Amino acid sequence: MRYSIFSLARQALSGHRGWRPAWRDAAPRDAYDVVIVGGGGHGLATAHYLARNHGITNVAVIEKGWIGGGNAGRNTTIIRSNYGLPGNIPFYEWSMKLWEGLEQDLNYNAMVSQRGVLNLYHSDAQRDAYVRRGNAMRLHGVDAELLDREGVRRIAPFLNFDNARFPIQGGLLQPRGGTARHDAVVWGYARAASARGVDIVQNAEVTGFLRGPGGRIAGVETSRGTIRANKVAVAVAGNSSRVAAMAGFRLPIESHVLQAFVSEALKPLIPGVITFGAGHFYVSQSDKGGLVFGGDIDGYNSYAQRGNLPVVEDVCEGGMAIMPMIGRARLLRSWGGIMDMSMDGSPIIDHAPVPGLYLNAGWCYGGFKATPASGWCFAHLIARDEPHPVATDFRLDRFAAGRMVDEKGQGAQPNLH
Amino acid sequence: MSRLAAGGLIDRSQPLRFRFDGRDYGGFAGDTLASALIANDVRLVGRSFKYHRPRGLLTAGAEEPNALVTLRAGARAEPNSRATTIELYDGLEAKSQNRWPSLGFDLMAVNGLMSPLFVAGFYYKTFMWPAALWEKLYEPLIRRAAGLGALSGAPDPDHYDKAHGFCDLLVIGAGPAGLAAALAAGRAGARVFLLEQENELGGRLLSERHEIDGRPGHLWAREVADELSALPEVTILRRTTAFGVYDDRSYGAIERVADHLAEPLPGQPRQRLWKIVAKRTILAAGAIERPILFGGNDRPGVMMASAVQSYVNRFAAVPGRRIALFTTSDSGWQVAADLRAAGVEVAALIDPREGAAPMALPDVPLFAGGTVTSTHGRILRSIGVRAAGGRVTRIAADVLAMAGGWNPAMGIGCNLGSRPIWSEAIHSFVLKAPPPGMALAGAAAGRFSLAETIGDGLREGMAAAADMGHEGHAPPMPRTSDDKAGVAAPWHVPGGRGKAFVDFQHDVTDSDIALSVREGFRSVEHLKRYTTLGMATDQGKTSQVNAHALLAMYSGKAIVEAGTVLSRPPYLPVAIGAFAGHHRDADFRPVRLTAGHGWAVEQGARFVDAGQWKRAQWFARPGETGWLETVSREARAVRSGVGLCDVSTLGKIELSGADAGVLLDRLYINNFSTLKVGRARYGVMLREDGIVMDDGTTTRLAEDRYFLTTTTANAARVMQHIDYCRQILWPELDVQAVSVTEQWAQYAVAGPLSRRLLQYLLPDLDLSNEAFPFMAAAETRWRGVPMRIFRLSFSGELAYELGVPAAYGDALVRALMEAGRPLDATPYGTEALGVLRIEKGHAAGNELNGQTTAADLGFGGMMSTKKDYIGRVMAARPGLTDPDRPVLIGIRPVDRVSRLAGGAHLLPTGVPDIAAHDEGHVTSVAFSPMMDGWIGLALLRRGRERIGEHVRAVDLLRGTDVEVEICSPVFVDPEGVRLRG
Amino acid sequence: MRVKCPYCGDRDVHEFVYRGDAAPVRPAADAGEAAFADYVYLRDNPAGPIAEHWYHAQGCRNWLVVERDTRSHAIAAVRLAREAAR
C-alpha cells in the first residue's frame, strides 16, 4: 500500500486495521541470484538498488538478528559530504544526492533534514586544513562555506565564545549536511526492496560458505539452512573480519566500539550538527528534542557493543568545553556500536579475494551517511563486476599498493582514524 | 489541604514555602515536591509528550513518567525534573512543561483530537509531498513541538566534582535488603559502600507499615543506619544513584550533593560523579510497581497503589477523598488496609483474580473477579467497574490506585549483556546471571516479602565479606510482620472505553502496539523504535514489561518467546555536567607553561596554543599597528641582528646505552651511529607504512648517549614509538630512553649577532667556526648549573640553542636579554619562527600532515640504501613513489603584491575551477620581509619539474585567485652561507 | 576496564594507550613488500581471546602484552612485553 496522508486518513477511519507488514518476513528459499549477508542499512540499500537499477530481484538479504539491529540503529544519524580527498568526495556527494531524493524514491519518510554541519576550528593550522578541505569540496561541486568567529556566533550564539581553553576561531559549514531518522532508513529500504521481490530473511546467521568449482563461493550456510547463490555479497560492518575468516582471508580492519549518547528531550536549541575541533564531541538535536552526541571511539578492539566510562567523561568534557549550557541537561541513554575501523579510515567496496564473494566493509564511524551510495555502488559492483565510477578508490588492494585514502593522515593505526 | 493531622515522617516543625506555576504553597521538611503538591490538592502536574494529555502524579519514585517539571529558574533551571524525587526546600520554584499557554488550558491538546491520525509511525508515512515542504514547513512544525522542558541557554553556573571509591562490597540500595547486607558485611569488618538514592535510608520501610522486632520498620532502619555510620570501614552515600556497571567491577554513581538546596553552598559541588571499583556488589534496588492496562488509565487521579501508600504513610498526604483500588496483587490489598487505617474512605477494591482474599477488609466493597473498564472526569471523578457477573456499575472515586504486580529493579545488572529471563512465579523478569562479583538481594531478586528480603541481605552480605576474608557472626534474623506477595500476570482489560496507555510519557497505547505488530515490527527492538516506547525520560521503567506482555499477546506468543531488552547506562538520567566534572570551559584541558612564560608575559607576548602548551606568538611593541608589522620586525631582527625564541616545547628525549646508535639508525631514514660525539644531525623518521612521522635534530653527547628533539606536536607519540621499538621490536638492544621535555628549558639565539651575544654570556667559550662549527654541540656549565649548547638553525641564520635545567630557564632567558641589550636582542614568537622557516623551506606541521613521504618533502636523498629502518620497505610501494605525487615547492605571487592563503588549491591557468584540474594545495604562507612579499610552500603534482611555471592559487571559500610562480621552497640563502657564517 | 600492570598494579584503562594485536611480527629486512604489507595492514581481528599491545603511557611507560577477550573485555593475563618477547 502506498503511504500518503490520504492512505493514513483512510486507515484512521477503520481503526488502522488495514495496514500490512512494511516488509515480508520471508523464509529462505533454496537458491537466489544474489545473497546479501547483513540486513543493515547498507545491505538493504544494496538489495533495493540491485532491484531498482539492475533488475535483479531474485535476491535475499540474510540478517542474523532483526534488520537494522546493528550499526544502522546505533549511530548519531548524521549525513554530510564534507570530505577532503578526491577518492572520497564524489562518493559521499553522490550519497548526499541520493539522500535528497530518498523519500520520494522509497515512499517512506526518513526525515532527511539538511540543517547544516558545522566543524569548528580553533587554530590557524586547523583553519588552513579546513580551507584545503572546503576548497576540495567546492572544486567537486559540493557546498562549503568558511565562517569566521562572528559567522559561527550568528549560527550558534550559545557556544562558548568567552571562556574557552581553545577559543573558537571559526568553522567550516556544509549547509546541505544534516541528519536523517536512522531506523526509518532501514525500514524504508526494506519495504522498497521487499516490494520489488527481495526476500528479507531475519534470524538467519551465516555460519559458513558453500564452495563451488575452483573454490568459488556458491552460497551460504545459515542457522536457517543452506542457501545457494550465484553471488554472495557481504555488508556486515563491525563483523567483516569474522565473515572474512569464514571465507579464509584477513582484512585491514579492526573492530572497535563507538559509544553515542542522547539527552532527555528538550525544546529546540541547536540548529544543525556542530563538531568541536579541539576535542572529541559532536552534537545535533533530534526531531523529538533529544541532544544526540558522541565523540571518540573507546580505542580498543571490541565486539561487545558497549563501552566504558572514561570515554563518556571525555565526550561530556568536550560538550562542556564548547556548550557549557548543557551541564544541566541529562544524559538519558547510551549505546555502543561495533565499527569496522579500517587501516586508512576509508571503506572497501570491492571483490573479495575469493571468487564469487563481494565485500562492503571498513566504514569506520562514517557508515550511516554513506548508506545510499554504498548500496548504489555495491549493487553496481555486484551486477556488473566493475566498480562504480565514484567508488573506484575503495579497492582492497590499495593498502598493498600504497594508495591509501587517509583523510586524517594517521596511518595504519585504526583507533586514530 | 489533604494533609493528615498526624503521622508520617515529615518534620512538621519545619514548614517550607514553595511555588508551582506561579502559585505559592506550603509543605514540610521531609516532603518531596510531589507529596507537597498532593498535600495542597494540586492534581494536574504535566502534559504528555505527543497528545498533550493532562496528567497527574503516577508514582512516588524515580520511575515517574508524568510529573516532569522545570525546577529552579534562570541559569539553574533544570528541565524534566521528576517532582517525585525533588526534596522540598524553602523557596523552591518549579514550573510545569510542554503546555501553552497554561497547564490547565493547553492549545497543543488539539494533537489529542488528531490522535486517530497520529498513531505509531505516522510520520514515516506522510509529509513526503511536496518534497520541498518537509524542510520548509512540516519539519519546523514538528521540531517546534519537540521536547518537554527547555534549557536556560546560559552556562551552567554550578560545578561538579569527581571521586574514586574502592571497596570490598558495594551495596546498591538501602532498603531492608541493602541495610541487612551492609550490616552483615560491615560488622564482619569489610570495607563497605552503601548507596541510597534518597536522603533517608529504609526504602520501602519508610512507606509501608511493617514491624520489625515489634517496632515500626523505619525505626529499625534508623538504628541500622546509626550503627553503620559508626563503623569505620563503612561509607554511606546518600542521595546517590548507581547508574551503570562497567568492565572489571567498575561502577558509576552520581551523588546529588546540593540538589536539595536552593543552590550549592559556597565551594560546594552540585553533584559528584563516583567511580567505584568493588570486589563484590549486592544489588538491592527493590522493585517497581507496574500499571494495569485499561481504557482511561492515564486520567489524572489514576495512580500506582504503592505511590498512594507512600504519600499517605510516609508523607501524611492523602491524594483523594474516595480512593478505589484496582489490583492484581496482594500488595494492593495492603494499601487498602493502610488507607482504612489512616481514615481514608476506600470506594472499592477490584481484583480480577477470582477468589483472591489475602486479608480481611471489613468495610471495603470488594469486586472479586471484576475489572475497571472506564474512567471519567477531567480529573478523575468516577470509574466504570465490570463485576464478575458482567454487570457494569459506575463508582464515584477521585483516585484509582493500580497495583499490577512488581518488576524487580535489576536494570544495571543487565549493563554487561546478561539477559533477564521471565519468571512465571512472579510474572516478571529476573536476572539469573548478574555481572561478575554481583549478587542480587530482596525485591531486586524477585523475592518480595520482608522476611525474604532481610534474609537475602544478611546472607549475601555475610557471603561477600567472607569472600574478602572477613569472617564474622551473622546478625540475628529479626522478626517481621506478615507480608503476602501473590500476584497475577500483567493485566490488560480489552475493549474498554478510551485509550489504554502503556508508555505514559510518550503516549504509546495498547492499540499502537497492536498496529506495530500488524505492520511487522514484532521484535522488541523494532517495537520500541517504531512506537518510541520506553524511550522517554523514565526509560520505560513503568512500561517495558507491560509492553512485552502486549507484544506477546498480539503476536500470539508466550512472553518468554517475545525476547528481552538489555538495559544500558545510565539507569537514571545523569547531568552531562557531572560527567565532565571540572574539565570545562577554560579548564577543559591542562595548560602547559614553559619556564620562561613569566618573562614572556612581561615582554608583552601574545600567546598561542600549541597542543596544551602556551607559546609566545609575538611580542608587540607600543605603536605597532598590527601583528604583521610586529612579526615582520621580529623576523627582520633575526635576519639582521639577533633574536631570542623559547623553543622549550619541542619534545626532548635522551637515549643511552651501547646500542643507542643502532636504535637511532633503525628509527630514522638517515644514519646516527656514524655521528661524532659533540655533533648534531637533522633526521627524519617514518611510520612503518612509509609516511613521515616526525623530524628533528639528534645530538651525540657521548659514545653511548644521544639527545634527540621532536616536534612539539609529536613529542608523546615519538616517545611511545621509541619505547615500542626498544621494548617490543628489538628488546635485545642495550638502550634506555627517557623523555626530558619538561626537564630542560631551551632557547634559540639566532641571527648574525648571535655569536657576539653568546660571547657576552659565556666569555670563556670558543665559539669560532673552527672550534664550534655549524651542527656542533657541547656540554658546559653556566652559573654552576649544566648547560648544553647546540649550533642549530631553524631560521637559516647563524644560530645557537642553549639548554639549561628547567628551573633555570627563566634566569637564562633574562641573562640572554641582558647580555643582548647592547645588540638590541629581540624576542620573537612562533609567527616569526614560521616566517623564517618558510623562507628557508623547512617542513613543519602543515607539511608533516601524515600524508607525505620523505621524498615528497625533498628528503628522498636522505633515505639510506645501506641499512634497514622503519618504513623503508613500505615507502617503496608504487603509490608512494608515483612520479605524479604532489611534492614540496615554493610559490610567489606573480604580481609580487597579492596575498597568499593556506589551504588554497593549485590549478593551471586558463582552466575552469573543477576538481579534474586540481593539482595540489598551499600548505603554509607568510609575508616575507626578505622577499618583500607573500611567499608560500605548497604540495604540487610533479612540482619539482615545474620550477618557473605559473599556476593559480585558488581559494573558492574566500574568493581569491592568485597567479603564482613555482619556485624552490628555499627562498633565502639557498647555499646556506648565512648559517655557516 | 582495568588493567593490572605488572609494574604499577591495578589501574584504570584511561592510563593506557592501545596499539592492537600483538601477534604480527615485523618481517626480516629482506622479506619484501608483500610480507610488510601483511604485517602493517592485515589483522585477524578475532571475536574472542586476543593478545594485544598496550602502553602504560600515564604510568611506567612499559609496553604490555594483555590477553583479553574482545567479546566480554575480560582480561586473562598481563605481562611486560619485554619479558613476553624473550
The CATH number linked to B425 is 3.50.50.60
Strands B399-403 and B302-304 come out as: parallel
β-pairing, B421-423 vs B406-408, is: unpaired
Task: Return the closest-CA partner of residue B970 out of B888, B900, B848, B847.
Answer: B888
**3-class DSSP assignment, residue B338:** helix
Asked if residue B239 belongs to a domain, the reply is yes
The pLDDT > 70 percentage for chain B reads 100
Q: Report whether pLDDT(A377) > 70.
A: yes
Is position A114 within any domain?
A: no
A235 and A260, same domain (yes or no)? no
Q: Which residues of A touch B724 (CB under 8 A)?
A: none
Shared domain check, B689 and B771: no
Is-contact B508 B502, C-beta < 8 A?
A: yes
- What domain range is C19 assigned to? 2-23+32-84
For residue B336, the SS3 value is helix
What's the whole-number average pLDDT of chain C? Answer: 96
What confidence category does residue B127 fall into, taking pLDDT thresholds of 50, 70 and 90? confident
Digit-coded pLDDT (tens) for B468-497: 999 888 899 999 988 888 999 999 998 777
Q: What DSSP character marks residue B776?
A: B
Chain A contacts to C (CB-CB under 8 A): 239, 241-242, 245, 250-255, 299-304, 308, 310, 343, 399-400, 412-415
d(CA A276, CA A172): 11
In a domain, A118, yes or no: no
- Asked whether the beta carbons of residue B142 and residue A398 sit closer than 8 angstroms, the reply is no
- Residue A292: inside a domain: yes
Residue B6: inside a domain, yes or no?
no
Using CB atoms, which residue from B576, B917, B958 is nearest to A327? B576
Chains that touch C (3 or more CB pairs under 8 A): A, B
The arithmetic mean of pLDDT across residues B423-451, rounded, is: 96
Q: How far is B716 from chain A (nearest CA, A)?
A: 14
C39 touches A at CB < 8 Å: no
Contact A144, A172 (CB under 8 A): yes
C-alpha cell at B243: 547508574
Contact predicate B566/A253, CB 8 Å: no
Same domain for B164 and B276, yes or no, is: yes
| Among B925, B657, B645, B581, CA closest to B802 | B645
| Residue B783 shares a structural domain with residue B799 | yes
CA distance A375 to chain C (A): 25
Q: Please check the confidence at residue B143 and state whether its pLDDT lies above 90.
A: no
SS (H, E, C) B662-687: HHHHHHECCCCCCCCCCEEEEEEEEC
DSSP string over B9-71: SSEEEEEEEEEETTEEEEEEET-BHHHHHHHTT----EE-SSS--EE----SSTT-SS-EEEE
Is the Cβ of C73 closer than 8 Å to some Cβ of chain A? Answer: yes
Say how far apart CA A262 and CA A315 lie, in whole Å: 12
Specify whether B280 is located in the same domain as B383: no
Domain carrying residue B393: 303-406
> Residue B809 maps to which CATH number?
3.30.1360.120
**Count of structural domains, chain B:** 7
d(CA A189, CA A185): 6
Specify whether the CB–CB gap between B444 and B408 falls below 8 A.
yes
Contact A251 C50 (CB under 8 A): no
Chain C positions with Cβ closer than 8 Å to B: 1-2, 10, 12-13, 17, 19, 26, 29, 31-33, 36-37, 39-40, 53, 55, 57, 61-63, 72-75, 80-82, 85-86
What kind and span of H or E run contains B917?
none
Owner of C-alpha cell 615500542 = B724
* Whether residue B691 sits in one domain with residue B631: no
CA distance B874 to chain C (A): 6
- Whether A7 is covered by a domain: the verdict is no
> pLDDT tens-digit profile of A70-102?
999 999 999 999 999 999 999 999 999 999 999
Identify the pLDDT of residue A115.
Answer: 95
Q: Residues B707, B815: one domain?
A: no
Contact B720 C86 (CB under 8 A): no
CB contact under 8 A, B727 and C82: yes
Residue whose C-alpha cell reads 649577532 in the numeric block: B753
Would you state the pLDDT for residue C86? 58
The beta-carbon neighbor of B728 closest among C39, C53, C57 is C53
Q: What is the mean pLDDT of residues A345-351?
A: 98
Rounded Cα–Cα distance for residues B152 and A156 (Å): 15
C33 and A399 in contact by Cβ < 8 A?
Answer: no
Average pLDDT over residues C4-19: 97
From residue A353, give the alpha-carbon distance in Å to each of A33, A215, B702: 20, 11, 53
Residue B181 pLDDT level (bands cut at 50, 70, 90): very high
Domain membership of residue A40 as a residue range: 21-81+84-107+182-252+344-416
**Strand locations in B634-764 (E):** 643-646, 651-656, 679-686, 692-702, 705-710, 736-739, 744-750
d(CA A340, CA A334): 20
> Final residue of a domain: which of A342, A367, A402?
A342
pLDDT average, residue stretch B736-758: 98
| Arithmetic mean of pLDDT, B21-25 | 97
Cβ–Cβ below 8 Å for C46 and A241:
yes
Domain boundary among A322, A342, A362: A342
The answer to whether B575 faces chain A, any CB pair under 8 Å, is: yes
B219 and B206 inside one domain = yes
Of B689, B709, B739, the residue at which a domain comes to its end is: B739
User: What is the C-alpha separation between A110 and B127, in angstroms, rounded?
Assistant: 10
Rounded Cα distance, B258 and B83, in Å: 16
Are B497 and B516 a contacting pair, CB within 8 Å? no
**CATH assignment of the domain containing A202:** 3.50.50.60
* Cα B407 from Cα B508, distance rounded (Å): 20
CATH code assigned at A277: 3.30.9.10
pLDDT surpassing 90 at residue B405: yes
Q: How many CA atoms lie within 13 A of A92 on its CB side?
A: 27
CA distances from A379 to A44, A360, A411, B934 (A): 10, 10, 29, 50
Clarify whether residues B631 and B671 are in a common domain.
no
Strand, helix or coil for residue A288: coil
Task: Tell me whether residue B877 is in a domain.
Answer: no
Q: Is the pLDDT of residue B645 over 80?
A: yes
pLDDT value at C85 more than 70: no
Q: Is residue B196 part of a domain?
A: yes
Query: Considering chain B, what is the average pLDDT of its residues?
Result: 96
Q: Which chains touch B (3 or more CB pairs under 8 A)?
A: A, C
Cβ-Cβ contacts under 8 Å for B521 (sequence gap 6 or more):
A22, B121, B527, B529, B530, B531
Q: Are residues B623 and B764 in the same domain?
A: yes
B187 and B256 fall within a common domain: yes
A357, A372: one domain:
yes
pLDDT at position B105, please?
Answer: 87
With an 8 Å Cβ cutoff, are C47 and A303 in contact?
yes
What is each CA distance from A314 to B5, B584, B801, in whole angstroms?
Answer: 52, 11, 38
Contact present, A374 and A79 (Cβ < 8 Å): no
Q: What is the mean pLDDT of chain A?
A: 97
* Closest chain B residue to A165, measured at CA: B586
What residues of C are in contact with residue B872 (Cβ under 8 Å)? Answer: 29
pLDDT for A32 beyond 80: yes
Place of cell 497520529: B118
- Measured in angstroms, the CA of B537 and the nearest CA of chain A are apart by 6
Q: Is B586 within a domain?
A: no
CB contact under 8 A, B723 and C82: no
Give the residue-averaged pLDDT of B273-295.
98
> How many domains in chain A?
2
Task: Find chains touching chain A: ≥3 CB pairs under 8 Å.
Answer: B, C
Contacts of residue B361, defined as CB under 8 A and 6 or more positions apart, other chains included, come to B333, B336, B337, B340, B346, B349
Torsion (CA) C22, C27, C33, C34 in degrees, nearest 10: -60
Q: How many domains does chain C have?
A: 1
Pair A102, A188 in one domain:
yes
Q: Quote the CA–CA distance of A371 and A99 in Å, as a whole number.
A: 9
Residues on chain B touching C63 (C-beta within 8 angstroms): 723-724, 727-728
The Cα diameter of chain C in Å comes to 41
Q: Determine whether the interchain pair B915/A139 forms a contact, defined as Cβ–Cβ distance below 8 Å.
A: yes
The residue among A299, A316, A342 that closes a domain is A342
Q: Is A116 inside a domain boundary?
A: no
- Cα distances (angstroms) measured from residue B159 to each of A332, B582, B852: 20, 7, 44
Alpha-carbon distance A342 to nearest alpha carbon in chain C (angstroms): 9
Across residues B354-371, what is the average pLDDT?
A: 93
Indicate whether A1 belongs to any domain. Answer: no
Distance from CA of A396 to the nearest CA of C (A): 11
Q: Are residue A358 and residue A410 in the same domain, yes or no?
A: yes
CB contact (8 A) between residue C40 and residue B877: no
Minimum Cα–Cα distance from B75: chain A residue:
A325
CATH number at residue B72: 3.10.20.440
Distance separating alpha carbons of residues B346 and B340, to the nearest angstrom: 7
Please report which confidence band the pLDDT of residue B1 belongs to, taking 50, 70 and 90 as the band edges.
low
Question: CB contact, 8 Å: B912 with chain A?
Answer: no
Q: Residues B257, B309: one domain?
A: no
C27-36: long-range contacts, CB 8 A cutoff, minimum separation 24: C29/B868, C29/B872, C29/B873, C31/B873, C32/B873, C33/A400, C33/B873, C33/B874, C33/B876, C33/B877, C34/A400, C36/B688, C36/B873, C36/B874
Q: How confident is the model at residue B841 (pLDDT cuts 50, 70, 90)?
A: very high
With b for 16 or more beta-carbon neighbours within 10 A and e for fewer, the A30-45 pattern comes to eebebbbbbbbbbbbb
Residues of chain A contacting C20 with CB distance shorter than 8 Å:
254, 301, 413-415
Residues B503-560: tens digit of each pLDDT: 999 999 999 999 999 999 999 999 999 999 999 999 999 999 999 999 999 999 999 8
Residue where one domain finishes, among candidates B406, B421, B441: B406
Query: Do B532 and A290 contact (CB within 8 A), yes or no?
Result: no
Q: Is pLDDT above 80 for B22? A: yes
Residue B668 within any structural domain of the chain: yes
Binary contact (C20, A254; C-beta < 8 A): yes
Contacts of B529 in chain A (CB under 8 A): 68, 73, 183
pLDDT higher than 90, residue B804:
yes
Whether residue B629 is found in the same domain as residue B682 = no
pLDDT at C32: 95
